[in-house]
Amino acid sequence: MLRDLLDALRCPMPHEESWLVAMVYEAEGPLLRRADLSCPVCAAEYIIRDGIARFAEPLAGRDDRAPDPMRLAALLGVTDGHLPVLLSGRYTLAGDALGALIPVPQVWVNAQAVARPGAPGLSEMLVRDRVPLGVATLAAAAVDATHATPAMLASVIRAVQQGGHVIAPAETPLPDGLKELARDGEEWVAEVTARASGLIELRRRAPDAVG
């Protein structure tokens, strides 16, 4: 995981948003190879080993259909910038090729691809049912069938910036907080709406005020 992503990490436990405190044991340039992450609110501890941040053991299941990188780049709708795009599961199989098309950092969640050693701009993490990222820390996200659960999508929608795109399998119901832009037999692509961000802010300030 890249050191740059530390600021975007939040404890995935259900409590008020909290940054994680990092104790770094081994780094290679911008890449944290071995570190411990701890939450000052609930004292949960997570580890970075071999460069991969391990928040939880992923659920079983994989889909080996390789995505088309050109199509993925078009659907993500990102051309440059410093915010990363999130690729989960099978979408990581197109990660290398995507990096050649759009020069933005990537966050791989439960990757099915093996990262090239020293791949620039790449952070990898293992998670179970949500991504441990703060509000508006991602430019866009591609969520594959293995990861398109309501809880995971809700955490992804929180993390994608307003107007950023979320891609999910066509059979996944469109969650709140997104406006559909296009769909075909394989996927839909939708953008995070202003309303969603507003609700998130309200929830953060007054947890009981919004249903």
Distances (CA, A) of 54 to 23, 86, 131: 14, 16, 11
**Minimal distance, residue 23 CB to Zn ion, in Å:** 16
Q: Is 186 left (phi over 0), alpha (psi -120 to 50) or beta?
A: alpha
Q: Which residues bind Zn ion (CB under 5 A)?
A: 11, 13, 39, 41-42, 44
How far is Cα 104 from Cα 16, in angstroms, rounded to an integer? 29
Q: Residue 39 or 93: which CB sits closer to Zn ion? A: 39
Q: Residue 36 or 63: which CB sits closer to Zn ion? A: 36
Q: Residue 69 or 132: which CB sits closer to Zn ion? A: 132
How far is Cα 187 from Cα 90, in angstroms, rounded to an integer? 13
Q: Residue 126 or 174: which CB sits closer to Zn ion? A: 126
Q: Residue 44 or 119: which CB sits closer to Zn ion? A: 44
Which structure tokens are listed for 70?
A: 């050109």
φ, ψ at 124 (rounded to 5°): -120, 140
What sign has the CA pseudo-torsion 74, 128, 192, 119?
negative
φ, ψ at 199 (rounded to 5°): -60, -40
Q: Residue 42 or 47: which CB sits closer to Zn ion? A: 42
Residue 111 contacts residue 92 (beta carbons within 8 Å): yes
**Minimal distance, residue 187 CB to Zn ion, in Å:** 33
Please choose, from the candidates 143, 176, 144, 137, the residue with its C-alpha nearest in 3D space to the C-alpha of residue 160.
137
**Minimal distance, residue 48 CB to Zn ion, in Å:** 16
